[in-house]
Amino acid sequence: MTSPELFVVVDHPLKRSGSPANVPLRGVTPEAFKVHQRLKIVEGRNFQFGQNEVIAGRAAARQFVDLTVGRQLKWGENTWTLVGIFDDGGSVSESELWCDVKVLQPAYRRGNSYQSVYARLASAGAFQQLKDSLTSNPQIQVSAMRAPEYYGSQTETLQTIIRTIGGIIAILMGVGAVFGAVITMYTAVASRTREIATLRALGFGSIPVVISVLVESALLAIAGGIVGGAIAWLAFNGYETATMNFQSFSQIAFKFAVTGGLLAQALSYAVLMGLLGGMLPAIRAARLPVVTALREL
């Protein structure tokens, strides 16, 4: 089952800034609603084929101005009526507007052209067979790929930018956290000079002293990591925003997902930074001369 589709971008302002942005407008055939099985109308109704009607994805309706049911919108050579809002299970299509491809083609003078064909196969294992048949046919010049792979390639530049900026911020904050742990543990060691001297006088070696300081530093880091993770989850889990997709030069809406795996990874980083920050104070405590430390009594 196949769905040939046409993709254009239209100029429309963002809600938050009011600045113009490129909104994806996708022309589809009736087969699209059989291929994209998760799509369902959650407000209003579906557009009628042959009419100047559009439906908007849930994410697009939240990010752009006046994308409400009943609105008249002027794009290209047509005036469109927004008749419904759709949900597609959180996929990238929720950042788009959909309409009849046969109405969209003349509005943007695209003739009878299409840009992509989405196919729903009988089984997941049939993909390689389809790909081989297409690539081995000299009459067809087409690239066949799975939908996640395609959307991954479309957002590659965006992902690189986000990860680079996020990585730089994380490194800077991590360095600051390590220095904070160093200062905290140096203060803790200085305030416990008498206790450390007593332990050493009772026969405890340097290794137990090092371990005790590192354990305390790790416990403090775990507590800080739990608090930080809780704040991140409350503030950002499910938070939705939009930015430019540099491959298609259109806006794409996405949500932050603070998952259990990410929280566990963050907690492990917090413990690592706590151990790094506690290492120098632990060594200093272990090397503290017993006689000098006993003078604090």
The yes-or-no verdict on residue 264 having pLDDT over 90 is yes
Mean pLDDT of the chain: 86
Q: What is the pLDDT of residue 153?
A: 77
Q: Which range (32-36, 119-123, 204-208) has the least confidence?
A: 204-208
Q: What is the pLDDT of residue 72?
A: 92
User: What tokens were used for 118?
Assistant: 């989405």
**Residue 10 in contact with residue 75, Cβ under 8 Å?**
yes
Query: Region 36-42: what's the mean pLDDT?
Result: 91
Q: What is the pLDDT of residue 246?
A: 63
Range 68-77 contact pairs with CB under 8 angstroms and sequence separation of 24 or more: 69/43, 69/44, 70/44, 73/12, 75/10, 75/11, 75/12, 75/25, 75/107, 76/8, 76/10, 76/104, 76/107, 76/108, 77/106, 77/107, 77/108
Closest to 98 measured CA to CA, from 62, 48, 144, 145: 48
Range 198-207 contact pairs with CB under 8 angstroms and sequence separation of 24 or more: 200/288, 200/290, 200/293, 201/290, 201/294, 206/286, 206/287, 207/286
The total of other beta-carbon atoms located within 10 Å of residue 190's CB is 13
The yes-or-no verdict on residue 29 having pLDDT over 90 is yes
pLDDT tens sequence across 135-192 = 888 888 888 888 888 877 777 777 888 889 989 998 999 899 899 888 988 888 877 7
Q: Would you call 44 exposed, middle or buried from its count of C-beta atoms within 10 A (0-12, 13-18, 19+)?
A: middle
d(Cα 26, Cα 47) in Å, to the nearest integer? Answer: 13
**Residue 47 in contact with residue 86, Cβ under 8 Å?**
no
Query: Region 55-71: what's the mean pLDDT?
Result: 90
Most confidently modeled of 53-57, 234-238, 289-293?
53-57
Q: Give the contacts of 293 (CB within 8 A, at least 6 positions apart).
A: 193, 194, 196, 197, 200
Crossing angle, helix 206-236 and helix 260-287, to 10 degrees? Answer: 150
271 or 255, greater pLDDT: 271
Q: What is the pLDDT of residue 172?
A: 92
The yes-or-no verdict on residue 23 having pLDDT over 80 is yes
Q: What is the pTM of this model?
A: 0.69
Residue percentage of the chain with pLDDT more than 90: 34
β-bridge partners, 78: 75
Exposure pattern of 152-172 as b/e (b: 16+ CB <10 Å)?
eebbeebeeeeeeeeeeeeee
Q: What is the pLDDT of residue 195?
A: 78
Q: What is the band of 12 on the pLDDT scale with cuts at 50, 70, 90?
A: confident
Q: What is the band of 245 on the pLDDT scale with cuts at 50, 70, 90?
A: low
Q: What is the DSSP string of 94-108?
A: GGSEEEEHHHHHHHT
61 or 152, greater pLDDT: 61
Q: What is the pLDDT of residue 287?
A: 79
The yes-or-no verdict on residue 64 having pLDDT over 90 is no
User: What tokens were used for 233?
Assistant: 């989850």
The yes-or-no verdict on residue 292 having pLDDT over 80 is no
Q: What is the pLDDT of residue 115?
A: 87
Exposure pattern of 18-42 as b/e (b: 16+ CB <10 Å)?
eeebbbbbbbbbebbbebbeebeee
Q: What is the pLDDT of residue 296?
A: 55
The yes-or-no verdict on residue 297 having pLDDT over 60 is no
| Farthest-apart Cα atoms in the chain, separation | 93
d(Cα 162, Cα 227) in Å, to the nearest integer? Answer: 24
